A = this chain, B = another copy of it.
Amino acid sequence: MKFSHIATDPKSGARAGIISTSHGEIHTPIFMPVGTAGSVKAVHQRELKDDIHAEIILGNTYHLYLRPGIELLEKAGGLHKFNGWDRPILTDSGGYQVYSLGANRKITEECVLFKSHIDGSKHTFTPENVMDIQRTIGADIIMAFDECTPYPCDYTYAKKSMELTHRWLTRCIQQIDSTEPKYGYEQTLFPIVQGSTYKDLREKSAEFIAAQNRDGNAIGGLSVGEPHEDMYAMTSLVCSILPADKPRYLMGVGTPENILECIALGIDMFDCVMPTRNARNGMLFTTAGIINIRNERWKDDLSPIDAAVGGYVSTFHSKAYLRHLIINKEILGAQIASIHNLTFYLWLVKEARKQILEGTFAGWKNEMVNKVSRRL
C-alpha cells in the first residue's frame, strides 16, 4: 500500500492524497460507508460505485465472523468475491462490537471471551486470531485488535487499557508479519491510538503507534460521547505526532461538521454508520442543512431531495415522495434516503479535496460547516 501526500491546505492541516491498494486508488480525504455484515444497508453494490462513488467500504469483523462465518468467506475467496464489491475493503478488528456486549464479554491479558448476540455461543478473540480472521475476510486494510474505552473513563483505567492495547499491538504486528496475504493481494495493518480524553496518554499512545512505522495509522476511542471540543483537541494532538507521510484514519466519525473539522486537523479517512442509520429514520444530510423528512413541512414539497449534490436519487425523487415512503415504512424510502446520505457524504469529502488542491479549503470549510450543520 502506498500513500501519496499530494497537497496541504495553507491555512489548516487539511491534506489531499492518494492511497494505492491492490483493489484500486482511494482519493483522500475519504469517507468509507459501513457495510456491517457484508452489505451497506439498503444499498446495492453497483449503487455504491455508480451513484455514491464510494472508493472503499468497511466491514465489521465481529459480524462477519459470526455470519456468514470465516469458513464460507474463505470458500468464496474472501468478502470481495462473496459480496461482489471489487474495490478496497477495510475491516475493523471486532474489538468495538465485542466491548459493546457488556456483561457478555470478559477481557483478559491474553484475549477477549464473548458470547454471540445471535445464539449465545462462546467465542474467543485474540490479537493473533483477529489478524487471521481479517486476512480470511480478505481486507485490504486490517485494523489492530485494541480496547476501545468508553466515555467517560477514569484515568487509571484509560492508562491500563492503553497499555494493554499497545501490548496487543505488538502481538498483532508479530502475527501479521509472520503470515502471508490470503488471496495474493496485499493486506496491511493499521495500528490504533487510544488514551481516552487524556492529553498525556494520547501523546504517549501516538508516539508508540508512530514508532511502529506501519502503512497507515488510526485514532480510536473518540466519538463515543465526549464533547466535540475534546474530540477535536485529541485529534489535533495526535495528528501532530503521527507521521505526515502516512494516512490517518479517525474511527467512527461522524457528522458532516465533525468530518470537515477533522479534515482541517489532518485526518484522511473516516467511517460512520450515521448516514445510513439516520437515513432509515428519515434524517437527511443535504448541501442546505439537515432535514427530518418526516416533518409535516415537507409533505407537499415536490422539489428534488438535493439538486446540488447531484446523482440519481437526490435529483430524481422529490422530498414529498421520499417523505411518503418513509412515513409508510416503504423499504424504498430507506433505500433512497441511504443512497442520498452516502452520496452527500462522498460529495462532501470530494468537494473538500478539491478545495484543498485549490488552496481554498479553510475558508470554504468554515462556510460549509455553518450550512451543513443547520437544521431546516
Contacts and interface: CB of A to CB of B under 8 A. Distances in A.
A300 interface: yes
B316 A76 contact: no
Contacts of A312: 46
Contacts of A46: 312
B299 A72 contact: yes
- The size bracket of the interface on A is 35 or more
A336 B302 CA distance: 29
A37 B331 CA distance: 11
A107 interface: no
Contact of A72 (B42, B320, B328): B320
A191 B324 CA distance: 30
Number of copies: 2
Contacts of A201: none
A335 B332 CA distance: 9
User: A83, A328, A336 — which one has the most chain B CB atoms within 10 A of its CB?
Assistant: A328
A317 interface: yes
A39 interface: yes
Nearest to A312: B46
B38 A335 contact: no
Contacts of A84: 316-317, 321
Question: Is chain A's binding surface mostly helix, strand, loop or mixed?
Answer: helix
Contact of A37 (B38, B40, B324, B335): B324
B320 A82 contact: yes
A68 interface: yes
A67 interface: yes
A82 B321 contact: yes
A332 B335 CA distance: 9
Nearest to A323: B68
A299 B330 CA distance: 29
Interface in A65-83: 67-68, 72, 75-76, 82-83
A41 interface: yes
Contacts of A75: 300, 302
A331 B332 contact: no
Nearest to A76: B302
A334 interface: yes
A82 to B, nearest CB: 6
Given A75-B300, A331-B331, A331-B335, A320 B41 contact: no
A68 B319 CA distance: 12
Contact of A83 (B41, B83, B299, B321): B321
A6 interface: no
11 contacts: A37-B324, A37-B328, A38-B321, A39-B330, A39-B332, A41-B330, A42-B331, A42-B335, A43-B332, A72-B299, A84-B316
Interface of A: 37-44, 46, 67-68, 72, 75-76, 82-84, 299-300, 302, 312-313, 316-318, 320-321, 324-325, 327-328, 330-336
